[in-house]
């Protein structure tokens, strides 16, 4: 069997879903399980309406809900035709009634908890998976909707819930495998699951890729296909560099590093369950299905180019902790990291000197409280609007002169932090956020002007 995951833009409207049906049709003999995201932008809209309800803006929340309802109804009726839509209508209607009621409840209480946030956020995938399954059936594809909340068991860490693999795998075998055995096409929503107590959870933004990998690993897939709106993993973000080129094959570790440092095309955790089982992952384009895409495998060819790709992660804050009196004091770093831990703030890049430590974190609302806590230990400064740039390639440690090549191109730029050698495969530095396009374009021109045809297309 294989897993085919379709992202938000690939199920963004009736035409897109129609394309999905024909792509799946072409793979029927490989026994696909289909995992879908919410229709494009729907998760953002759901979160906006949940926050509005939480702030007591009931009318605004319900208005957003109605526009979402209209979009889903229009898509479904376009896909199903009048007769089928009349039957299906009630099912979607019940979901929207539940959402409406939930929003009224949230605004009455005037408080939005992580638990209710997940409840609202999951509607995007609930709705899209039902519509896609119905569209498949209407096209003779034997689509069978599976509610992912009955399959993906997680802990109760709402908004970032952690999958419980043993129970999930068990349920995949008892509830999804039999559908495959009967030649049905199971259609599941990504991103959402439920705790053991049956309360809806989500596994983090962009999490449908992760869901696909969990399903693929649990059912022993031959292949996992991540269908999106570009030709595969490209040498950099095509919105910054329109001449970004396709990478034909990339290593798991390289892909994970890229995803972690901002290449939004793939959720970082995706690769984990797949690596462990040695399942190849492909990134493919639903707008250009005949393109071979990118294959992510354990052993990728090295190629002649120094780097495989460049990624940038914006909305970064640098926190600088300086403690002249603490000179190398035993336990100082531990105390600092414990403070980050207490505030549940994850650190990306670290650099130290004898008297100070600089760390980068995603800009977020916990930073002032964290800084106040840290200032009990030392002098603390923090500065937002930074970005991390990450160049990824195999065996960078072994290649002489790489840092010189990179920073010569950026001689006129203010580089705030540099990190190389933490892993064999990345060179990372921090710049001002508004410099990202210029820096990426320059580096792309330098390192990707000539490409090894074995690795790049």
Cα–Cα dist 284/24, whole Å? 13
Nearer to ligand ASP, 11 or 380 (CB): 11
Minimum separation from the CB atom of position 244 to ligand ADP (A): 7
In this complex, which beta carbon is closest to ligand ADP, that of residue 117 or of residue 236? 236
Residue 7 CB, shortest distance to Mg ion, in Å, is 5
Nearer CB in complex with ligand ADP: 57/229: 229
Q: Which stretch binds Mg ion (CB under 5 A): 42-50, 123-131, 203-211, 336-344?
A: 203-211
Q: Which of 426, 418, 417 is nearest to 399 (CA)?
A: 426
Using CB under 6 A, list all residues that contact ligand ADP: 7-10, 37, 206, 228-230, 233-234, 236-239, 263-265, 309
What does 191 bind: ligand ASP, ligand ADP, Mg ion, none (CB cut-off 5 to 8 Å by kind)? ligand ASP
Q: What minimum distance in Å lies between the beta carbon of 154 and ligand ASP?
A: 14
CB atoms within 10 A of CB 400: 8
Decide whether 116 or 426 has the Cβ nearer to ligand ADP: 426
Residue 75 C-beta: closest distance to ligand ASP, Å: 16
Instruction: To the nearest 10°, report the CA torsion of 132, 136, 142, 145.
Output: 10
Residues 186, 152: contact at Cβ < 8 Å?
Answer: no
d(CA 147, CA 137): 16
Q: Which helix (H) or strand (E) holds 356?
A: strand 356-362
Nearer to ligand ADP, 250 or 321 (CB): 250
Among 206, 251, 268, 393, binds Mg ion (CB under 5 A): 206
DSSP letter string over 21-42?
A: HHHHHTTGGG-EEEEEPPSTTH
CA-nearest of 388, 252, 384 to 308 is 252
Q: Strand, helix or coil at 222? A: coil
State the residues that interact with ligand ASP by CB under 6 A: 7-8, 37-38, 43, 124, 190-191, 205-208
CB burial class (10 A; 0-12, 13-18, 19+) of residue 78? Answer: middle
Only one of the segments 1-9, 292-300, 336-344, 424-432 lies at the binding site for Mg ion (rule: CB under 5 A); that segment is 1-9
If contact means CB under 5 to 8 A according to the sort of partner, which of ligand ADP, ligand ASP, Mg ion, none does residue 190 touch? ligand ASP
Segment 7 to 46, residues that bind Mg ion, using CB under 5 A: 7
Cβ 44 to ligand ASP, closest distance in Å? 7
Nearer to ligand ASP, 190 or 193 (CB): 190
Q: Beta strand 223-228 with 281-285: parallel, antiparallel or unpaired?
A: parallel
Separation CA 181–CA 219 (nearest Å):
12
């Amino acid at each position: 069997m294989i897993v085919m995951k379709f992202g938000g833009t690939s199920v963004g409207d009736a035409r897109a879903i129609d394309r999905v049906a024909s792509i799946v049709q072409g793979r029927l003999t490989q026994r696909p399980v289909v995992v879908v995201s919410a229709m494009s932008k729907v998760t953002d809209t759901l979160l906006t309406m949940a926050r509005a309800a939480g702030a007591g803006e009931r009318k605004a929340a319900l208005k957003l809900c109605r526009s979402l309802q209209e979009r889903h109804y229009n898509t479904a009726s376009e896909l199903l035709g009048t007769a089928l839509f009349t039957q299906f209508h009630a099912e979607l209607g019940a979901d929207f009634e539940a959402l409406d009621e939930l929003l009224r409840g949230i605004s009455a209480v005037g408080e939005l908890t992580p638990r209710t946030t997940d409840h609202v956020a999951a509607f995007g995938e609930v709705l899209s998976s039902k519509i896609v399954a119905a569209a498949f059936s209407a096209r003779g594809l034997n689509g069978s909707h599976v509610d992912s909340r009955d399959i993906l068991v997680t802990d109760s860490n709402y908004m970032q819930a952690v999958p419980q693999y043993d129970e999930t795998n068990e349920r995949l075998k008892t509830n999804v495998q039999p559908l495959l055995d009967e030649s049905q096409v199971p259609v599941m929503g990504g991103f959402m699951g439920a705790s053991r107590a049956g309360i809806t959870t989500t596994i983090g933004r962009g999490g449908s890729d992760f869901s696909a990998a969990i399903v693929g690993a649990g059912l022993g897939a031959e292949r996992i296909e991540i269908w999106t709106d570009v030709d595969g993993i490209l040498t950099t973000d095509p919105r910054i560099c329109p001449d970004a080129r396709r990478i034909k094959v990339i290593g798991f570790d390289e892909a994970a590093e890229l995803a972690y440092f901002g290449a939004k095309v793939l959720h970082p955790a995706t690769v984990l369950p797949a690596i462990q089982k040695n399942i190849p992952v492909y990134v493919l384009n639903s707008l250009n299905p005949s393109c071979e895409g990118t294959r992510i495998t354990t052993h990728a060819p090295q190629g002649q180019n120094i780097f495989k790709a460049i990624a940038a992660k914006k909305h970064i804050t640098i926190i600088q902790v300086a403690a002249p009196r603490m000179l190398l004091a035993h336990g100082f770093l531990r105390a600092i990291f414990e403070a980050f831990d207490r505030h549940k703030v994850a650190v990306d890049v670290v650099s130290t000197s004898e008297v100070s430590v600089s760390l980068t974190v995603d800009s977020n609302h916990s930073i002032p409280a964290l800084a106040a806590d840290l200032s009990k230990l030392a002098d603390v400064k923090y500065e937002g609007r930074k970005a991390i740039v990450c160049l990824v390639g195999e065996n960078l440690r072994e290649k002489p002169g790489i840092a010189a090549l990179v920073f010569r191109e950026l001689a006129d730029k203010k580089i705030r932090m540099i990190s190389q050698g933490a892993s064999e495969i990345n060179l990372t530095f921090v710049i001002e956020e508004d410099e990202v396009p210029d820096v990426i374009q320059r580096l792309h021109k330098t390192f990707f002007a000539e490409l090894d045809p074995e690795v790049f297309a």
